[in-house]
Amino acid sequence: MKLTDQDFRLDGTTVDKVSEDLQRYLHGLKQERRSVQQIRLTVEELLLNLLTHYGEGMTISVGVGKRFGRHIFRLRYEAEPFDPTGESENSLSDDILRSLGLFPAWSCRGKRNTVSLVLMDRPKRSAMVKILAAIIAAALLGAAGNVIPEGVRRNVTDGILSPAAGGFLGLLNTFAGLMIFFTICNGILNMGDPSSFGRVGKSVLTRFAGISLGISAVTAALSMPFLRLDFSSGAQEIGSPLVSISKMFFDILPGNIVDPFRTGNTFHIIVIAALIGCGLLAFGERGQRIRGLVGEAAPLLQQLVSSVCALIPLFVFSVLVKQIWSGQLGILASALKPILMFFGLTLFLSAALLLLSALRLKCSPLLLLKKVAPTFLVAFTSASSVSALPLGMETCEKKLGIKSSMVSFVYPLGSVIFMPSSVIYFTVIAFTFAEIYQVPVSLPWLVTSVIIVTLIAIALPPIPGGDIIGYSILFSSLGIPEEALLLATALGVLTDYLATGANVALMIFQITSEANRLHCLDRDTLLSRQPTVKKEKKNSLG
């Protein structure tokens, strides 16, 4: 359904009609009842805020439909600038929800005000279906290579497949470095803003970052006994670890500000982003305009990278056909080891973190698991942390007893920056691919892999195709060939469901533990076998 606008005269009757029409539209999309009610109440609040501010009589334009693969609600009105979304104490949390399409976004050009709200995003499963379709199509074309003349195959490979794969990687590298730069720089600026981050935010971020780093290090240590890594080139460096670490430290310092973005040197880009972010913080109010530009650039780059990632099926198709025609499929037989290692380590470390959380909270691990299980199942079956976000926030507040003010800020933040299962997967991929492609491993290589994996898990936004950005950054930093992207992407499709479910569950465990440490937890609710039911005012619209 194409998005079309309809004009209304703003009054109480219009609020009712628009809300009822929207509810019928959402039911047609087969949305869950909880989501339908939440979206309806959000739109009602927008319209009532307009009615309170402007009064009755102004003309508003309402549009509901599909645009760029998303079902959206759009509200427009000609008047003096006014933001009906309201101001929140947790501006950073609102920005995260807005970037995920879960919070209404307001913009104004002159007197033309526009408010938009995503009703249903492009389903993640459709991206997986496209990748699987690309794999099937490549397998069929590859098998047909036996009857295609050698000259034709060579011309197709050199003239179409190789340029297509190279063009995709070029586009990805062009924007990925900039996205990492603005994401990290913006994160540092938000950390230094007490009004948007504060003590709780810094405490939670420290916990998330520390646990991610620890998980990467433990995963690396547990993986190495099962792999045959090439330590020969690093034998001399291992004998003098201080020299190796010192050399690695000075190597990550950039020589200038341009080359890291031209060559895609992730470590240098991260250092530059950190220095500029800290510099803007020290600059204080005088750097407010630049800070605003950085904050606006971060979501813009995320959107550009998301658009580039829509070409992933084309990349998978091109590279797979090339490998089949060149007889390089033997390497795919090595895919079983990283899958088994990922599943085994994820289950082991998830159980360990569950037991540690239960021990800190002094509650039964089975009770904690039972309360988090519904949210885990939503994330697991949909492979989307965004789909599980409303239920997860409700679980934290009503079943686990975390203060709503902390939940509304910390949960959206955690859903973006805390991905422990992704840390496990990236670490496993780095080490198993080092074995598969016989990449020389040294002490600096090991330290670099742990640090890069941690930073990738924190800095990469949850956009469709975001994983392949992480693979590209990781492989270029560790000397793993670019053709490994195909195998990593295929394995990512197979592991995505468990990784997403485990990410959400482990995040809730850590939020609960941190809430307990910060005295933001109601232990009676946590230990109760029944969820807390809060009395709410009955809405006149039902």
- The band of 118, judged by pLDDT with boundaries at 50, 70 and 90, is confident
Residues 6+ apart with CB under 8 A from 352: none
Average pLDDT estimate for 395-407: 88
Q: Which tens digits make up the pLDDT trace of 254-294?
A: 777 777 777 667 667 777 887 887 777 777 666 677 777 77
- The band of 459, judged by pLDDT with boundaries at 50, 70 and 90, is confident
Give pLDDT, residue 406: 84
How many helices, marked H, and strands, marked E, lie in the chain?
22, 5
* Nearest-angstrom CA–CA distance, 419 and 503: 5
Q: Is the dihedral of CA 361, 363, 364, 368 positive or negative?
A: negative
Give pLDDT, residue 424: 95
* Nearest-angstrom CA–CA distance, 83 and 199: 28
* Nearest-angstrom CA–CA distance, 50 and 53: 5
Average pLDDT estimate for 84-95: 59
Share of the chain above pLDDT 90, in %: 16
Residues 6+ apart with CB under 8 A from 501: 376, 377, 379, 380
* Nearest-angstrom CA–CA distance, 532 and 535: 10
* Nearest-angstrom CA–CA distance, 402 and 409: 12
Q: What is the pTM of this model?
A: 0.73
* One CATH from 3.40.1350.10, 3.40.50.300, 2.60.40.10, 3.30.565.10 for 4-121: 3.30.565.10
Give pLDDT, residue 72: 83
**Average of per-residue pLDDT values in the chain:** 79
Angle (CA) 314 320 325, round 5°:
130
- The band of 541, judged by pLDDT with boundaries at 50, 70 and 90, is very low
* Nearest-angstrom CA–CA distance, 353 and 366: 13
Token representation of residue 345: 């380590």
CB atoms within 10 A of CB 44: 18
Give pLDDT, residue 388: 80
Q: Which tens digits make up the pLDDT trace of 299-335?
A: 677 677 777 777 878 888 888 888 788 776 666 666 7
Average pLDDT estimate for 359-363: 91
Domain residue ranges in the chain? 4-121, 125-132+148-196+207-527
- The band of 43, judged by pLDDT with boundaries at 50, 70 and 90, is confident
Nearest CA to 456 out of 440, 441, 475 is that of: 475
Residue with tokens 């009757």: 13
Q: Which tens digits make up the pLDDT trace of 516-532?
A: 988 888 888 888 876 55
Token representation of residue 118: 């995503």
Nearest CA to 186 out of 260, 108, 91 is that of: 91
pLDDT winner (highest mean) among 30-44, 301-315, 404-418, 421-435: 421-435
Class of CATH domain 125-132+148-196+207-527: mainly alpha
Q: Which helix (H) or strand (E) holds 113?
A: strand 112-120
Average pLDDT estimate for 486-510: 86
Distance of CA 374 to the CA centre of its chain: 21
| Whether residue 87 has pLDDT greater than 80 | no
Instruction: Mean pLDDT check: name the lowest of 8-12, 184-188, 429-433.
Output: 184-188
| Whether residue 221 has pLDDT greater than 90 | yes
Average pLDDT estimate for 460-489: 79
Give pLDDT, residue 121: 59
Number of residues written out for the chain: 542
Give pLDDT, residue 287: 66
* Nearest-angstrom CA–CA distance, 453 and 430: 9
Greater model confidence, 403 or 297: 403
* Nearest-angstrom CA–CA distance, 353 and 344: 14
